Structure 1
Amino acid sequence: MSQSKILTTASGAPVADNQNSRSAGPRGPLLLDDFHLIEKLAHFNRENIPERRVHAKGSGAYGTFTVTRDITEYSSAKLFSAVGKQTETFLRFSTVGGERGSADTERDPRGFALKFYTEEGNWDIVGNNTPVFFIRDPMKFPDFIHTQKRLPQSNLKSAQMMWDFWSHSPESLHQVTILFSDRGIPDGYRHMHGFGSHTYSLINAKGERHWVKWHYKTAQGIKNLAPADAARIAGTDPDYAQRDLFDAIERGDYPKWRVCMQIMSEDQANRHHENPFDVTKTWSQKEFPLIEVGMLELNRNPLNYFAEVEQATFGPSNMVPGVGLSPDRMLQGRVFAYADAHRYRVGTNHQQLPVNAPRSPVHSYQRDGSMAFGSNGGAAPNYEPNSYADAPKQAPQYREPALALHGDADRFDHRVDADYYSQAGALFRLMSAEQQALLIDNIAGAMMGVSADVVERQLQHFYHADEAYGNGIAKALGIQLG
């Protein structure tokens, strides 16, 4: 029989009694010098870190990305250097608007955040299961998220504030159409596509830049839940998507996605009839066809949800040589917002946690801060430039090519193209009659109780996208469009 382990405090001191607090006599008050009691209570009070402001409830798993096509003509990133090359990944799925205890089957976009542990550092792509987003400018992000959360007075969700915001933000119509379609409630995380959503960039060894859209096509096939089934599951198994993903991996049924990209040259972007950096619009796949570049497989569950999923941090600021950003306004706002959220929520040194730590060596001049691990730099200098030959030095060979900018610095109105409707209308017309009817029914149900002025304003957006779209919702609401 093996010898049992000795219980210790977090500092490693043996615990003699884990059942009784120290007190002044058998009936007296407790004593402040009971450091074991104080440590247990203090740690318990801090076991929950602040939940994410958005994407609070999520599921994650480790996997691999395997290159299936040579794309070195577009990117010098080493993870793409050879067909067959594998890179370890971590993928976190999530709902967007709900809290950590919310149901997995709510009508909501799903986050699709992917971390590549490359030999040159970590590369993160933050996206969703939709190719577009509700807004174009990060100035409006806090306002939008407020409408998806709860009213300050009642702490209740409000259809009024959601539709009020959307009705004043016509650029949201494309995403709203997707959200209330049959794809608005995926059947778990395995049966949905993922998208980088934003426009990113790739840079090759010659210093040539191409703009890129990332697509992850589920190999399991698209499956969605009917609203009635989603409501039933929310009441009987609110962790439905988490359970489905975990169990599938445990039984060896590893989910896979084909990793594809759309490519646009800088010259093509300059001549494109639409703004290629507008996240409320997609690129035509006829004009910019999908190119399959690899296969993503999830094949290992985390050992500890809190350590590896709740504390996982993703941000578009995590890049490696050969990949880059774009002038996409929302992406540029997220470069700051995501990393700053992690510094607040997890800690200054969140990158040092195992799930976030790169697999490649780290040589930086960052020191101290909460949760600084290891030697904290030891005797090495914490400043640069310095006189030490073995200290980290900048590497100019990794500079990105210059991006030509022009125009006056100003607050330019992003609502100037007046085309909020063509892609939403085209999506509506692509749907079958059954899908259109479900979309109309979903939207009409979600608008019940919303004030007449907001309904009228929003109906005009639907009508401009497609007359049958607007008239169908108006009829379902018992309204005659004038």
Structure 2
Amino acid sequence: MKTNEPNKKTEQLDVHSTFNENEKLTTNQGLKINNNQDSLKAGERGPSLLEDFILREKITHFDHERIPERVVHARGSGAHGVFKLNKSLAGYTKARFLTELGKETPVFVRFSTVAGSKGSTDLARDVRGFAVKFYTDEGNYDLVANNMPVFFIQDAIKFPDLIHAVKPEPDNEIPQAASAHDTFWDFISLMPESTHMIMWLMSDRAIPRSLRMMEGFGVHSFKFINEEGKVHFVKFHFKPKLGIHSVAWNEAQIISGVDSDFHKRDLWEAIENGDYPEWDFGVQLIPEEDEHKFDFDLLDPTKIVPEEEVPVEIVGTLTLNRNPDNFFAETEQVAFHPGHIIPGIDFTNDPLLQGRLFSYTDTQLSRLGSPNFHEIPINRSINTVHNNQRDGHMRQQIVKGKTSYEPNSIGGGCPF
């Protein structure tokens, strides 16, 4: 279904190289060269020379092409798109992308499996990540969601144990991207709080027909805060316009053997053909004073808030309309973090969410190697960044002036 035309992010976000027939071969330093296929040698049949700086540059770059894959959600597919607000939530939140009717906000969405390595199959029985980066004019907002509304555990301190149990067993690295094995069932049998999530994982929701045909859930209860400071708890929902469709287990096994990139290919080809995937975006809203009116803890991520008790209010449309230009630069390097919020959206005391607020920053430092991961084009805010942070590995922003501290008077007190 064709809807919005593809939108480009601002020039700051859309930094990428395009090639044409008139461009000349260069080194990474911009030096034009006519050959990078033959190494410099000492004589006709002599050894290669260490002074061949073209050889050294090319081989060195190749040797360092790989970065650590994500410990979880390693296998992913991504796309650019737009979120359009169809109903204002000004009574509940001051986040402008959710209050200004008709406002369109660029997004990047990454779908993923949890347990498998980067080279595993798309059709594993698994939870799917549904992470959305909203490039709002107030800063980046990351809604790091899943395709199931609950989770296995109630406290983040158990997360390493959960993942160690579901990953391939450490003595033989078997099985890959599978939950049906001894260590996982051993852990689950001793963790009664996981029962609800296991029912989802063993349902058809764990084997979607297409990434375009699955729901997304924020899992946690978050907070909305309006201009008057009034608080509502909020649960986030993405509902696919194509409906929810899955495949049976024997179908999934056959598909995996024929095309392990089935979901990735399906998403890519749909967008290339102009059949842009769409989701209704909705919220469940609960006044702060009603937190304890339920017979379960609203901050417990192993529970859902029944829609018959708190209906989902549809307020916007998420449309994916442009494939990445480069998988590594965008889909692999995109860095999500539930701590990336904007005014009008806040955390709750959910212990699982609280642990994620630490873990995601730590993960980006390990994977991307620098506190400057926010300067990678796919992660950049559409706002210019102003603060007195400096330096660090692979710093790109060049900040002028003497002052790298605050308060200051030499720099006129800036940034204010």
The alignment's TM-score, normalised by the length of structure 1, stands at: 0.79
Answer yes or no: is the 8 Å Cα contact 1:147–1:165 preserved in 2.
Answer: yes
Aligned to 1:65: 83
The answer for the alignment partner of 1:200 in structure 2 is 222
Q: What secondary structure is seen at the aligned counterpart in 2 of 1:337?
A: helix
Give the letter for the 2:159 counterpart: F
**Hey, what does 2:385 align to over in structure 1?**
362
Q: Identify which range, 382-391 or 65-74, moves more after superposition.
A: 382-391
Residue 148 of structure 1 is aligned with which of 159, 166, 171? 166
Pair 149,206 (structure 1): closer, same or farther in 2 beyond 3 Å: same
Shift of 1:380: 4.9
Give the SS at the match of 1:339: helix
How many Å separate the matches in 1 of 2:59 and 2:171? 32
* DSSP-derived class of the 1:7 partner: coil
Q: Which residue of 1 aligns with 2:415?
A: 392
Aligned-partner residue type, residue 238 of structure 2: Y
Q: Percent identity?
A: 46
What is residue 395 of structure 2 aligned with on the other side? 372
Two-structure CA RMSD over aligned residues (Å): 1.4
Matches within 5 A, 1:159-308: 159-308=181-330
> Deviation per CA, 1:375-416, whole angstroms, max 9, x where unpaired?
1x22252111111335123xxxxxxxxxxxxxxxxxxxxxxx
Match of 2:5 in 1: none
Residue 249 and residue 378 in structure 1: after superposition, are their counterparts in 2 closer, same or farther (change >3 A)? same
The TM-score normalised by the length of structure 2 is 0.91
| Alignment deviations for residues 248-271 of structure 1 (CA, whole Å, 9 cap, x no partner) | 111111111110111112211144
Q: Output the CA distance in 1 between the equivalents of 2:35 and 2:319.
A: 47
* Distance change in 2, residues 1:314/1:3 (3 Å): closer
Give the secondary-structure state (helix, strand or coil) at the position aligned to 1:190: helix
Distance 2:65 2:252 in 1: 31
Q: Within 2, Cα distance between the matches of 1:344 and 1:287?
A: 42
CA distance in 2, matches of 1:45, 1:194: 38
State which drifts further: 85-94 or 17-26. 17-26
- Offset, 1:3: 7.0
TM-fit CA distance, 1:287: 1.9
1:340 to 2:362 alignment: yes
- For the residues of structure 1 that align with 2:91 and 2:341, how far apart are their CA atoms? 19
Q: 2:148·2:205 contact (CA, 8 Å) conserved in 1?
A: no
The residue that corresponds to 2:12 in the other structure is: none
**Which among 19, 22, 26 is matched to residue 44 of structure 2?**
26
- 1:139 pairs, out of 157, 160, 173, with 157
Structure 1 residues without counterparts, runs of 5 or longer? 394-482
Contact 2:124–2:207 under 8 Å retained in 1: yes
After superposition, give the CA deviation of every residue in 1:192-251 in whole Å (9 maximum; x if it has no partner).
Answer: 111111111111000111111001001011110111111111111100001101111111
Q: Pick from 77, 99, 108 the counterpart of residue 126 of structure 2.
A: 108
Q: Give the AA of the match of 1:48.
A: R
Contact 2:406 / 2:413 at 8 angstroms: preserved in 1?
A: no
2:10: which partner in 1?
none
Unaligned runs of 5+ in 2: 1-19
What is the SS of the residue equivalent to 2:212? coil
2:144 match: 126
Structure showing greater Rg: 1
In the alignment, does 2:48 pair up with 1:48? Answer: no
The total of aligned residue pairs comes to 391
In structure 2, the CA distance between the partners of 1:3 and 1:149, relative to structure 1 (3 Å rule), is closer
Residues 335-369 of structure 1, C-alpha deviations (whole Å, 9 max, x = no match): 11112111210132111111110112211222111
Aligned position for 1:441? none
| Structure 1 residue runs of 4 or more that deviate by more than 6 Å after TM superposition | none
Amino acid at match of 1:124: D
Residue 224 of structure 2 contacts residue 234 of structure 2 at CA under 8 Å; is this kept in 1? yes
Deviation string 1:276-320 (CA, Å, 9 cap, x unpaired) is: 011010012222111111111111111111111000010011011
Partner-residue secondary structure (3-state), 1:355? helix
Q: Deviation string for 1:393-443 (max 9, x for gaps)?
A: 3xxxxxxxxxxxxxxxxxxxxxxxxxxxxxxxxxxxxxxxxxxxxxxxxxx
Distance 1:324 1:112 in 2: 20
Deviating more after overlay: 207-216 vs 361-370 = 361-370
Q: 1:335 to 1:3 in 2, by over 3 A?
A: closer
Letter in 1 for 2:141: W
**What is the deviation of 1:136?**
1.0
- For the residues of structure 1 that align with 2:319 and 2:351, how far apart are their CA atoms? 31
Q: Does residue 316 in structure 1 map to residue 338 in structure 2?
A: yes
Give the match for residue 373 of structure 2: 350
What is the rounded CA distance, in whole Å, between the counterparts of 2:44 and 2:22 in structure 1? 30
Contact 2:407 2:413 (8 Å CA) reproduced: no
* Structure 2: distance between partners of 1:117 and 1:181: 34
- 1:152-190 CA-to-partner distances (Å, cap 9, x unmatched) read 221112700000000111111111111111211001200
CA distance, structure 1, for counterparts of residue 344 and residue 197 of structure 2:
30
Greater mean alpha carbon deviation, residues 235-244 or residues 380-389: 380-389
SS at match of 1:117: strand
Which residue number in structure 1 is paired with residue 107 of structure 2?
89
